[in-house]
């Protein structure tokens, strides 16, 4: 394991049964989460981002199977070699890794919480089960935590049931529960998708604040590139069970290289300018159960090369932080320029900023 990484995933493959045969839904994922950074894993539904995240906590569906690969988690002290979570039993992960090392926040705050238990009880439970603390001390810790996630009246919230809270407050409670045992890693799976934009903005702010205060490493899963732009340090783009591009925030947003990334960025509507036509990616994602040949994105890719239909391209490195799964960058081809509308939006950035200054 590299020194500054807290988690590394190598060549992870996960299969699920479909009509009596096993289909590979995660087809070799490599991922490195550096300590204290927010890594966004971006993809459309069915790309495998949630399955990848769940495998880290042994929360895969029963029928799923890890076929190969390593999930290396650095020890708390950092001096031993990483533990391979893919080799640990489910019970071992649940008892020693989950909550203590990795906390998770799910999409729907109403189904995550137990509707028959008060917030306080649910929060204190973690302390009692994992740390064998007495009720009094557990309560004190729980109240501190509720205050730290920005709930205005912790005492009152402690006694309330989930249905008495708004969606935003519920998500704060879940974040508090996920952080209760001081994990090093927080996995967030679309935590703001079911929330209103004004609430979403505040939850994102809270996550950034907690991440900085606690030196958390965050794996943030989403399909919303606007949210990614707001929160991520590092971005991985996933398509049909594999990473197709990875890089720093500025690599991916300002120097995107993969045609799929271009399509994703272009299909995010612009707030300041009305386009004649929105750019969309033609077609739909492939059905992995019907078998793949070559690059799964090739049929939707205007820049696909003949060999892409035969064999999936490997990753090509563009810089120490930026890599892309596309033969356009193999050195033998000349990469095409950015699509016009995207180049305009990225270019506008500097001119708009200049104009703003002159106005002031």
**What order do you get walking across the sheet with 102-105 strand by strand?**
102-105, 185-189, 217-222, 38-42, 234-239, 242-248, 323-324, 316-317
- C-alpha separations of 44 from 183, 205, 344, 349 in Å: 28, 24, 24, 26
The minimum distance between CB 229 and another protein, in angstroms, equals 5
- C-alpha separations of 301 from 177, 244, 281, 311 in Å: 43, 13, 8, 15
What is the radius of gyration, based on Cα positions, of the chain? 22
The minimum distance between CB 317 and another protein, in angstroms, equals 25
The single residue listed with the structure tokens 């990875």 is 246
201 or 305: CB nearest another protein: 201
The minimum distance between CB 138 and another protein, in angstroms, equals 33
Is residue 227 close enough to count as binding another protein by CB under 8 A? Answer: yes
Task: Judge contact between 183 and 35, C-beta under 8 A.
Answer: no
The minimum distance between CB 302 and another protein, in angstroms, equals 14
The minimum distance between CB 12 and another protein, in angstroms, equals 23
- Tell which one of 284, 317, 330, 343 touches another protein (CB under 8 A): 284
Is residue 229 close enough to count as binding another protein by CB under 8 A? Answer: yes
The single residue listed with the structure tokens 């939006």 is 345
The single residue listed with the structure tokens 């612009």 is 270
Which segment (57-65, 73-81, 199-207, 317-325) binds another protein by CB under 8 A? 199-207
The minimum distance between CB 194 and another protein, in angstroms, equals 9
Is residue 255 close enough to count as binding another protein by CB under 8 A? Answer: no
281 or 324: CB nearest another protein: 281
Is residue 203 close enough to count as binding another protein by CB under 8 A? Answer: no
Q: Which residues contact 34 (CB under 8 A, 6 or more apart)?
A: 4, 5, 6, 217, 234
The minimum distance between CB 199 and another protein, in angstroms, equals 8
The minimum distance between CB 284 and another protein, in angstroms, equals 5
7 or 253: CB nearest another protein: 253
**Strand 185-189, strand 217-222: pairing:** parallel
CA distance linking residue 290 with residue 112, whole number of Å: 33
CA distance linking residue 57 with residue 102, whole number of Å: 7
Is residue 265 close enough to count as binding another protein by CB under 8 A? Answer: yes
The SS3 assignment for 207 reads: helix
- Tell which one of 200, 217, 326, 341 touches another protein (CB under 8 A): 200
Task: Judge contact between 190 and 223, C-beta under 8 A.
Answer: yes
- Contacting another protein within 37-96 (CB under 8 A): 44-45
Is residue 275 close enough to count as binding another protein by CB under 8 A? Answer: yes
Which segment (6-14, 32-40, 70-78, 227-235) binds another protein by CB under 8 A? 227-235
Is residue 345 close enough to count as binding another protein by CB under 8 A? Answer: yes
Is residue 271 close enough to count as binding another protein by CB under 8 A? Answer: yes
The minimum distance between CB 347 and another protein, in angstroms, equals 10
Is residue 269 close enough to count as binding another protein by CB under 8 A? Answer: yes
> In the beta sheet, which residues pair with residue 31?
9
CA distance linking residue 132 with residue 86, whole number of Å: 28
158 or 297: CB nearest another protein: 297
Task: Judge contact between 49 and 39, C-beta under 8 A.
Answer: no
14 or 227: CB nearest another protein: 227
The single residue listed with the structure tokens 């289909």 is 23
CA distance linking residue 44 with residue 120, whole number of Å: 36
209 or 317: CB nearest another protein: 209
Tell me which residues touch another protein (CB under 8 A): 44-45, 196-198, 200-202, 204-205, 223-227, 229-230, 253, 263-265, 267-275, 277-282, 284, 345-346, 348-350, 352-353, 355-356
């Amino acid at each position: 394991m590299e020194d500054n990484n807290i988690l590394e995933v190598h060549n992870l493959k996960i299969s699920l049964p479909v009509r009596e045969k096993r289909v590979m839904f995660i087809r070799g994922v490599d991922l490195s989460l550096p300590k204290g950074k927010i890594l966004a894993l971006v993809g459309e539904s069915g790309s495998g981002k949630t399955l990848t995240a769940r495998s880290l906590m042994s929360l895969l569906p029963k029928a799923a199977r890890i076929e190969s690969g390593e999930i290396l988690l650095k020890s708390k002290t950092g001096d031993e070699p990483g533990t391979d979570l893919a080799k640990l039993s489910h019970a071992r992960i649940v008892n020693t890794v989950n909550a203590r090392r990795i906390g998770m926040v799910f999409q729907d705050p109403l189904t995550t919480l137990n509707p028959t238990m008060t917030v306080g009880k649910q929060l204190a439970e973690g302390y009692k089960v994992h740390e064998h603390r007495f009720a009094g001390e557990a309560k004190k810790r729980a109240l501190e935590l509720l205050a730290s996630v920005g709930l205005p009246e912790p005492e009152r919230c402690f006694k309330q049931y989930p249905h008495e809270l708004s969606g935003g407050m519920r998500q704060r409670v879940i974040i508090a529960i996920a952080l209760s045992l001081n994990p090093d890693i927080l996995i967030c799976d679309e935590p703001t998708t079911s929330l209103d934009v004004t609430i979403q903005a505040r939850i994102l702010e809270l996550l950034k604040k907690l991440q900085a205060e606690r030196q958390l490493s965050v794996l943030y899963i989403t399909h919303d590139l606007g949210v990614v732009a707001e929160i991520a340090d590092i971005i991985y783009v996933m398509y049909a069970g594999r990473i197709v591009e990875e890089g720093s925030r500025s690599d991916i947003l300002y120097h995107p290289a993969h045609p799929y990334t271009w399509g994703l960025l272009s299909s995010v509507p612009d707030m300041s300018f009305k386009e004649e036509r929105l750019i969309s990616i033609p077609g739909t994602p492939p059905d992995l159960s019907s078998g793949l040949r070559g690059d799964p994105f090739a049929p939707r890719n205007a820049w696909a090369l003949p060999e892409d239909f035969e064999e999936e391209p490997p990753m090509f490195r563009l810089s120490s932080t930026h890599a892309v799964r596309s033969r356009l960058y193999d050195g033998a081809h000349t990469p095409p320029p950015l699509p016009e509308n995207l180049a305009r939006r990225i270019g506008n950035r500097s001119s708009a900023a200049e104009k703003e200054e002159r106005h002031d």
